[in-house]
């Protein structure tokens, strides 16, 4: 019997739980050469800010064991070009879009959200992902998501700009002492869901030249090597919500998903939906393949609905 | 097995290696890759997955397409010339006949061809000559004359000198150590080649330093250089934004553009060479969205 793959995220029902990850799929056209991006639960766009950004110099990448380091520096066309060109294209192919936004200041996040909401193609948007894992210019470049107050402020300001029924996900970094307190602050400020995790800060030294390999010196670590960190973060936040420490909201899991089995692991830890990032660089059809594999696995577990597997591992602990 | 197409000009196929042979310091691979030959043009590249399905080396490796042939006993084939350098290229060059490798190709923009029959100069540095023989054939079919200059550090790092004698009307070889041809760099012999041929266009592929000098010498002789660049690439298909470089557009505005999608072939005089320093490339201050003081 076929498994019902549909999932509901903050009131929006998606046909399946698999998405691209922000910054790992550009804005759709490139991957659409390999598979129909409208078959995914949602398409997550590259984080966009107010103005065009060049991003950093090169080299911007280093391969690591089962992963990579990147320092792109949020290169992008700016929100006006995004709503004029990219969003209408995604709508034209029938994609459901989760738009990732960011700002240099809390106010800029809200301004970006406003331009998005006022755009013609906004009806293809199934939610906004607020990438608070980026530096706060007003606070010496400290990442918003490292500070519960700054995180809460951004979320509250963006919430004011979004219609009530538009889901808003705060994207968290795992590079914090207590991710639960950041999740708590984001939810209390109006996030209707959380995406985790963003990359972990890392560094690689080129041992031939004996100098940092990345032009930007440090970069974000991603890929299968960080999957256990994603599982842990999802687990901790799910456990806290189950204990009633704050409102229960849906989680989107991201970090190291390469196969359907990896996706299932994040779901069992607490994710309702799953994003595929770095694995797409290895295989441009990875998001679609993960979906097919996940469906087969869910079927082998004998469930009628994929949603029955969300956070299932919390109920299966054996405590002797 | 071949997926995609969707009229998208690119295919992802599980290729089968049918021949692998040494060529000096390089390995020359012939891979059965149905669908690639019909789409590919000289200057485009292929992005290969390395290490097999469970590998920890996730990123694709990019290689210029040396040649393609649409039919034959095995189906369409793709030829690449690979220098073993790190983990991925070591793996690729250790493949044997009948091993499989995941190929995405063709990618990027090809060398633009002249509309008239003009003299042309083709310059290859090291394995950078790989795409030039196929290009030479296409140019000569259009009535262009082709003069080739091949350079490398030493004789074993030259690729295709014999093939060049077939593909080009005239060939000049240089090596840094004088082990073959003339001692020195391609830029030492290029002024004479431009003077002799009066070529209005040069095509080049090789190390960035060489591409910069080809661009300069071409400009000094009133010629345009079309250069195929090499920047670190994670995906090869345009989704990761790692492969950017500062390039001036037709409108004169510089942007950090993806060399896998808008390149790898650029007009040499559009590349902001002054931003490159010893393997690191900065963002020119006048580039679109360049960091402002106190900005990113
Ligand atoms: C358009 C293009 C055409 C190329 N054509 C050829 C060719 O015909 N023959 C050939 O031998 N080599 C070619 N290269 C270079 C080749 O891609 C690299 O040598 C190879 O990726 C190195 O992989 P590795 O695992 O051996 O090295 P590692 O250093 O271990 O590679 C680690 C990572 O860095 C990336 N990387 C490292 N060096 C380069 C580089 N120079 N260019 C791009 N990515 C790099 C790799 O993709 C990989 O993700 C080309 C590169 C580009 C961009
Ligand atoms: C090259 C690259 C660019 C990224 N850009 C963004 C971005 O713009 N916004 C964002 O929220 N996350 C960005 N990420 C993080 C991913 O969305 C994801 O959270 C992270 O890579 C972990 O997932 P993965 O292991 O599946 O890649 C980027 C990751 C990579 C590798
Ligand atoms: S290599 Fe990924 S965008 Fe060019």
Strand-pair category, B145-152 with B119-125: parallel
User: Given CB atoms, is B244 within the 8 Å cutoff of chain A?
Assistant: yes
User: Given CB atoms, is A227 within the 8 Å cutoff of chain B?
Assistant: no
Q: What is the pLDDT of residue A1?
A: 66
Q: What is the pLDDT of residue B2?
A: 45
User: How much helix, strand and coil, in percent to the nearest 5, is found in chain B?
Assistant: 20, 35, 45
pLDDT at B1 over 90: no
d(CA A61, CA B145): 41
Q: Can you give B43-108 as a three-state secondary structure string?
A: CCEEEECCCCCCCCCCCCEEEECCEEECCCCCCCEEEEEECCCCHHHHHHHCCCCCCEEEEEEEEC
d(CA A228, CA A216): 26
Architecture of the domain made up of A7-315: Alpha-Beta Barrel (3.20)
Residue B4: pLDDT band with limits 50, 70, 90: very low
Instruction: Give how far Cα A211 sits from Cα of A62, B86, B296, Å.
Output: 13, 18, 22
Residue B6: pLDDT band with limits 50, 70, 90: low
Q: Using one digit for the tens of pLDDT, what is the confidence trace for A222-236?
A: 999 999 999 999 999
Full-model pTM: 0.96
Q: List b or e across A4-27, with b for residues whose CB sees 16 or more CB atoms inside 10 angstroms.
A: ebebebbebebbbbbbbbbbbbbb
Q: Across the strands, what pairs with B63?
A: B46
Q: Across the strands, what pairs with B2?
A: B13
Query: Which residues, including other chains, have CB under 8 Å from residue A13's CB and lie 6 or more apart?
Result: A6, A7
Q: Using one digit for the tens of pLDDT, what is the confidence trace for B47-92?
A: 999 999 889 999 999 999 999 999 766 679 999 999 999 999 999 9
Q: Given the CA of residue B234, which atom of ligand 3 is nearest to it?
A: 1
Of the partner residues A33, A224, A225, the one whose CB lies closest to the CB of residue B10: A33
User: Given CB atoms, is B275 within the 8 Å cutoff of chain A?
Assistant: yes
d(CA A46, CA A260): 23
Residues constituting chain B: 296
Determine whether A283 is exposed, middle or buried from the number of CB atoms within 10 Å of its CB (0-12, 13-18, 19+): buried
**In A, which residues are within 8 Å of B287 by CB distance?**
54
d(CA B4, CA B6): 6
Q: Given the CA of residue B84, which atom of ligand 1 is nearest to it?
A: 26
pLDDT at B5 over 50: no
Both tokens assigned to B17: 């290696």
Q: What is the pLDDT of residue B71?
A: 79
Task: Answer yes or no: is the C-beta of B81 below 6 A from any ligand 1 atom.
Answer: yes
Strand-pair category, B67-69 with B11-23: unpaired
d(CA B27, CA A235): 48
Going from N- to C-terminal start, the domains of chain A cover: 7-315
Residue A251, number of CB atoms within 10 A of its CB = 29
Contact B161, B152 (CB under 8 A): no
**Alpha-carbon A57 to chain mean position:** 24
Q: What is the share, in percent, of chain B residues with pLDDT greater than 70?
A: 95
d(CA A72, CA A47): 11
The one catalytic residue among A24, A124, A134, A146: A134
**Taking phi first (over 0 means left), then psi (-120 to 50 degrees means alpha), and beta for anything else, what does residue B18 get?**
alpha
Question: Closest by alpha carbon to B147, among B132, B160, B128?
Answer: B132
Question: Closest by alpha carbon to A248, among A314, A306, A158?
Answer: A314
Contact A254, A195 (CB under 8 A): yes
Query: Which residues, including other chains, have CB under 8 Å from residue B221's CB and lie 6 or more apart?
Result: B191, B194, B195
Q: What is the pLDDT of residue A320?
A: 86
Query: Is A134 a known active-site residue?
Result: yes
Contact A256, A234 (CB under 8 A): no
Determine whether B241 is exposed, middle or buried from the number of CB atoms within 10 Å of its CB (0-12, 13-18, 19+): buried
Q: Using one digit for the tens of pLDDT, what is the confidence trace for A156-204?
A: 999 999 999 999 999 999 999 999 999 999 999 999 999 999 999 999 9
Q: Tally the C-alpha atoms within 13 A of residue B155's C-alpha that lie toward its C-beta.
A: 6
- What residue owns the CA closest to ligand 2's atom 12? A22
Residue B240, number of CB atoms within 10 A of its CB = 29
Which portions of chain A are predicted below pLDDT 70?
1
Residue contact B283–A26, C-beta within 8 A: no
- What residue owns the CA closest to ligand 2's atom 26? A277
**∠ CA(B24), CA(B61), CA(B128), 5° rounding?**
40
Torsion of the alpha carbons at A216, A77, A277 and A4, rounded to the nearest 10: 160
Place of tokens 């991003």: A55
Rounded to the nearest integer, the mean pLDDT of chain B is 94
pLDDT at B294 over 60: no
- Give me the domains of chain B, ranges plus CATH numbers: 2-107 (2.40.30.10), 119-281 (3.40.50.80)
Query: What is the C-alpha radius of gyration for chain B, rounded to an integer number of angstroms?
Result: 19
pLDDT at B295 over 60: no
Q: Across the strands, what pairs with A251?
A: A194, A271
Residue B268: pLDDT band with limits 50, 70, 90: very high
Task: Answer yes or no: is the C-beta of B59 below 6 A from any ligand 3 atom.
Answer: no
Query: Which residues, including other chains, have CB under 8 Å from residue A241's CB and lie 6 or more apart?
Result: A247, A248, A249
d(CA B42, CA B136): 9
CA B13 / ligand 1 centre spacing (Å): 20
User: Given CB atoms, is B256 within the 8 Å cutoff of chain A?
Assistant: yes
d(CA A173, CA A233): 9
E strands, A239-309, in order: 251-254, 271-276
Least confident of A73-77, B229-233, B292-296: B292-296
């Amino acid at each position: 019997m076929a498994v019902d793959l549909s999932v509901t995220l903050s009131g929006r029902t998606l046909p399946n739980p698999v998405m691209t990850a922000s910054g790992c799929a550009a804005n759709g056209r490139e991957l659409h050469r390999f598979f129909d991006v409208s078959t995914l639960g949602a398409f997550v766009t590259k984080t966009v800010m107010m103005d065009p950004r060049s991003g950093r110099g090169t080299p911007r990448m280093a391969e690591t064991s089962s992963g990579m380091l990147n320092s792109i520096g949020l290169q992008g066309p700016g929100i006006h070009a995004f709503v004029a060109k990219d969003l209408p294209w995604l709508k034209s192919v029938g994609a459901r879009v989760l738009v990732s936004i960011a700002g240099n200041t809390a106010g800029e996040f809200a301004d970006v959200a406003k331009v998005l909401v006022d755009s013609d193609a906004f009806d293809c948007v199934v939610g906004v992902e607020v990438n608070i894992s980026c530096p706060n210019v007003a606070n010496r470049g400290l990442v918003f998501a490292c500070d519960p107050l700054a995180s809460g402020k951004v979320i509250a300001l963006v919430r004011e700009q979004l219609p009530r029924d538009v889901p808003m996900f705060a994207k968290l970094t795992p590079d914090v002492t207590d991710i639960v307190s950041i999740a708590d602050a984001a939810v209390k400020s109006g996030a209707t869901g959380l995406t985790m995790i963003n990359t972990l800060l890392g560094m690689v030294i080129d041992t031939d030249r004996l100098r940092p390999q990345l032009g930007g010196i440090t970069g974000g670590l991603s890929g299968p090597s960080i999957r256990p960190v994603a599982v842990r973060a999802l687990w901790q936040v799910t456990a806290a919500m189950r204990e009633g420490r704050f409102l229960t909201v849906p989680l989107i899991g991201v970090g190291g998903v390469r196969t359907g089995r990896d996706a299932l692991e994040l779901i069992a830890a607490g994710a309702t939906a799953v994003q595929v990032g770095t694995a797409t660089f290895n295989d441009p059809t990875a998001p679609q393949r993960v979906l097919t594999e996940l469906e087969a696995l869910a079927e082998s577990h004998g469930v009628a609905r994929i949603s029955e597997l969300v956070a299932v591992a919390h109920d299966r602990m054996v405590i002797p | 097995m071949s997926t995609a197409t969707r009229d998208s000009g690119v295919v992802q196929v599980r290729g089968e290696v049918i021949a692998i042979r040494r060529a000096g310091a390089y390995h020359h691979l012939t891979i059965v890759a149905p669908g690639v030959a019909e789409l590919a043009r000289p200057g485009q590249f292929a992005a290969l997955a390395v290490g097999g399905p469970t590998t920890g080396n996730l990123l694709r490796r990019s290689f210029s397409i040396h040649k393609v042939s649409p039919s034959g006993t095995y189906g369409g084939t793709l030829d690449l010339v690979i220098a073993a350098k790190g983990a991925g290229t070591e793996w690729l060059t250790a493949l044997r006949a009948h091993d499989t490798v995941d190929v995405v190709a063709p990618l990027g923009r090809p060398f633009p061809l002249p509309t008239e029959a003009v003299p042309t100069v083709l310059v290859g540095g090291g394995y950078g000559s790989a795409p030039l023989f196929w290009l030479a054939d296409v140019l000569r079919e259009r009535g262009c004359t082709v003069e080739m200059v091949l350079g490398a550090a030493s004789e074993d790092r030259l690729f295709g000198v014999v093939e060049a004698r077939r593909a080009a009307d005239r060939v000049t070889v240089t090596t840094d150590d004088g082990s073959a041809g003339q001692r020195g760099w391609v830029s030492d012999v290029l002024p004479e080649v431009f003077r002799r041929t009066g070529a209005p266009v040069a095509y080049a592929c090789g190390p960035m330093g060489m591409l910069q000098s080809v661009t300069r010498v071409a400009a000094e002789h009133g010629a345009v250089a079309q250069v195929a660049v090499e920047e670190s690439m994670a995906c090869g298909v345009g989704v990761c934004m790692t492969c950017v470089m500062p390039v001036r557009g037709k409108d004169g505005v510089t942007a950090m553009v993806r060399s896998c999608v808008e390149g790898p072939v650029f007009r040499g005089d559009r590349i902001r060479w002054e931003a490159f320093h010893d393997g690191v490339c900065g963002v020119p201050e006048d580039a679109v969205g360049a960091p402002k003081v106190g900005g990113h």
